[in-house]
Amino acid sequence: MPKDYAKHSLGQAGGNLYTNKGGGSNYLCLPSDPENGKAYSYDNDGLYGAEYDVNSSTKPSSLPASLSQKEVPCAVCRRTGKVSVLMKPGRKSCYKGWKAEYSGFLMSQHKEYNNVDYICMDRDAEPLDNRSVNDNHALFYPVRARCGSLRCPPYKDYTDVLCTVCSK
């Protein structure tokens, strides 16, 4: 690990239930050592663990099929001395003057479910552990390009959208 790079926290990815109409709309990196509040019985649940919802026919080519239905780990990292971090959709490399932190595939919620922010899933993605349960709570799906108002070329129809996270 470079000396100007520090892992800030490690945990599990989470988010809202994919069918909830209200509540949060972004994925979260949840700590593995939470400090829990009081338990209440009112019905406003909205925080669930996330899982990879990919299989052999929907996953980007370099992601392993073994990720299917597994929970998603996450890390929040900090680069000391850096002032900008930018996720670049549609690129697997950074522009000149920027340093690549990692690259992978643009992912988000399925188009038939509620909106969720786009994220750049590391091409070396791993499961949180070996547990495999299809809970279908917060879900990650690969994003594919669609021609029309999205210009093709330079984009290509039905292709995985690559991404990279760059710092400067």
Task: Report pLDDT digits (tens) over 124-136.
Answer: 988 888 888 888 8
The residue range of the domain holding 160 is 5-167
Residue in this structure with the two tokens 């791993």, named with its chain if needed: 126
**Per-residue pLDDT, 1:** 44
Instruction: Judge whether residue 7 has pLDDT over 60.
Output: no
Alpha carbon separation from 68 to 14, 71, 134 (Å, rounded): 16, 9, 9
Average pLDDT of the residues of the chain? 80
What is the per-residue burial (b if ≥16 Cβ within 10 Å, else e) of 26-61? ebbbbeeeeeeeeeeeeeeeeebbbbbbbeeeebbe
Residues of the chain with pLDDT > 70, as a percent, come to: 85
Q: Which two tokens stand for residue 144?
A: 């594919």
More confident residue, 1 or 81: 81
- Least confident residue range of 4-18, 56-70, 89-103, 113-127: 4-18
Q: What average pLDDT does range 55-82 have in this prediction?
A: 77
More confident residue, 15 or 125: 125
Helix H or strand E encompassing 164: strand 162-167
| Nearest-angstrom CA–CA distance, 151 and 95 | 21
DSSP count for the chain of H helices, then E strands:
0, 9
Helix H or strand E encompassing 22: none
Total domains in the chain come to 1
